[in-house]
Structure 1
């Protein structure tokens, strides 16, 4: 009688310990219990999943910390910094202004991609342009991008056999050389100075302002380009360099040798010999200049640096140099350097990105922020004026009392 207790198949005669002996035919009758193998496999799967979970947690945390987010940076004032959008609008505005100048009237349909159905008055002989670039781009209060494009433009030249174009109302306009009548000043007296005739150019650097609408990668000009004045000029700030170095000053020779190694010889070892320890200056490679001449070196601080400085002393200098090309032509350049003393000699410790200034760079004034007064209604609906508790200067009105104001 075969009895199965639930721990595997019934045992045949001759089985030992649950295994089978070899049958008379030479075949093995041993049999692995299927429930044991399945249990081991399930255990391995569970252990593998636990290890995967343990590894995935720290890995996900590291990726979240190290990988930067792709969404735009939003400041507390609600401004969204979209560099890509500004770049796309700049490129579109530059192409639109150039096309507006160079497209003749017979091809005006080509401008629809930039200006849509805006009315246009096109010349038969278009302008020629070169050197276009974006001078300014801002996003105004309406949400449109305002782009100022600068371009070297020249009026189109008619063919030699063409008749000269007539200016409208030529007879009614004064000649170009005629001086307008002097205007009277506020006192009623005629001005003594003669008005200068307007000088007009037919070619030069011109600037055009273009409003651009940007929506989900699509752009179109909201108006035709408007000629605007060139960006305003600004006076240079006062320099902090106020004391010249003599040509025989030790710092003069150190700076000259440093610049010669960097710009002319291309000798990295010599460059490092005139540099402070820990710096990482590199020579120009390939070398574009045949010679460099240090004309003057001016130091900041009111007095020349010491010829035998103590270790750790620093000084700001500006080197005015003349560079010579392989063709013998010369061009001026200026280097702002910081020198530091070590072992009784001056060494170049830093190449400054900008010169030392004697006055701060002016910053734009922040836009005024209107803070609503507590109790002031922001609703646009009309209503009776509210009476606010006020206290005039010099009065000691009891707390909680109100004073009516007209």
Structure 2
């Protein structure tokens, strides 16, 4: 009896020898892994279409993104700071004019190039006289005024000295230099401009012009009364004498004992004088000549103008004037400050349109 084995034969999908490749074989191969060749082709085509679509939509999407950004005004780019101002202050122009006047006063025949360094047209001049025959001394700027945006008018004061020639002879009893030369004034216009590299360039617009002296200002009214003798019995004279003696003759030794609390002063060193004499006092708001022998209550302040004779190390006495503020404490006067200038009264205001009286002048604090 023969046994017959039944069952299904499972195909691996690979053709056996002799079967070849045909439609059935393609179906067998397509079944490997559950992915068909047609599906692969469809996916590749889909990916190509998606890529082309994105390429086609790229410009449109970019335009929409640009239009969707809110419009804002762009901040202006910061400007670079100039390396140098086109017009400098008057200090440089004043120094330039001082050097120009010094060269101008001593210039003579053949010195035209020296002046051209300050004023270029000077090369066409024909100077006369001997170079160095005259010279300027004590050159000082007495007026500085800006006439244009980049032009300064500088007035220089100078004492012009004439150098004596070797052949001249002085008369007996007469100084070789003669009488003291008066001060003369020269006005110079100076233009300024940027010279590059952070510097300022200068040039004179003309030769110096000799002008008259500046007007003298009227002295303002001061808060002090008339100068009167400094009496030895006056507590104010005693305080001022003690303070100035320590300040001018002892190089500040024991100076603190004469100062009010909180006041700090530094005395000249080395001591310039060997002796001090207080000659006169002018007291704030005091017009009478009655002697003062008492000290008011603590905290009272008083301003003084003090005339002093200071004896130098050579024995010559030199007049000096000090503006001081005193403060009362514990029955004596102390030095509250060495003032930089005498105190002046404020000018009286003009009457108002309503005719009300103007307030009286008050001293400056």
Q: Which residue number corresponds to residue 184 of structure 2?
A: 206
Q: Which residue number corresponds to residue 255 of structure 1?
A: 240
Question: Which one of 80, 90, 101 corresponds to residue 86 of structure 1?
Answer: 90
1:346 and 2:351 aligned: no
Gaps of 5+ in 1: 1-69, 73-79, 162-200, 363-406
Tell me if the contact between 1:239 and 1:355 (Cα under 8 Å) persists in the aligned partners: yes
Q: Cα offset for 1:272?
A: 1.1
Bigger-Rg structure (1/2): 2
Question: Which one of 211, 216, 220 corresponds to residue 228 of structure 1?
Answer: 211
Tell me if the contact between 1:251 and 1:307 (Cα under 8 Å) persists in the aligned partners: no
Q: Which residue number corresponds to residue 249 of structure 2?
A: 264
1:332 and 2:316 aligned: no
Tell me if the contact between 2:252 and 2:266 (Cα under 8 Å) persists in the aligned partners: no
Tell me if the contact between 1:93 and 1:210 (Cα under 8 Å) persists in the aligned partners: yes
Q: SS of the counterpart of 1:236?
A: coil
Tell me if the contact between 1:316 and 1:336 (Cα under 8 Å) persists in the aligned partners: yes
1:218 and 2:201 aligned: yes
Change over 3 Å in CA distance of 1:345–1:282 after alignment to 2 = same
Q: Cα offset for 1:267?
A: 4.2
State the alpha-carbon separation in 2 of the partners of residues 221 and 246 from structure 1.
58
Tell me if the contact between 1:338 and 1:349 (Cα under 8 Å) persists in the aligned partners: yes
Tell me if the contact between 1:299 and 1:305 (Cα under 8 Å) persists in the aligned partners: no
Q: Which residue number corresponds to residue 140 of structure 2?
A: 133
The C-alpha deviation readout for 1:113-150, integer Å capped at 9, x for no partner, is: 11112453522234222221222112113631111111
Question: Which one of 265, 284, 295 corresponds to residue 300 of structure 1?
Answer: 284
State the alpha-carbon separation in 2 of the partners of residues 158 and 123 from structure 1.
16
Q: SS of the counterpart of 2:305?
A: strand
Change over 3 Å in CA distance of 1:117–1:308 after alignment to 2 = closer
The C-alpha deviation readout for 1:173-205, integer Å capped at 9, x for no partner, is: xxxxxxxxxxxxxxxxxxxxxxxxxxxx99431
Question: Which one of 108, 120, 129 corresponds to residue 124 of structure 1?
Answer: 129
The C-alpha deviation readout for 1:70-111, integer Å capped at 9, x for no partner, is: 999xxxxxxx998x6422211111111111121112221222
The two structures have a TM-score, normalised by structure 2, of 0.61
Change over 3 Å in CA distance of 1:296–1:214 after alignment to 2 = same
Q: Which residue number corresponds to residue 99 of structure 1?
A: 103
Gaps of 5+ in 2: 1-80, 169-178, 195-199, 350-365
Question: What is the aligned length?
Answer: 245
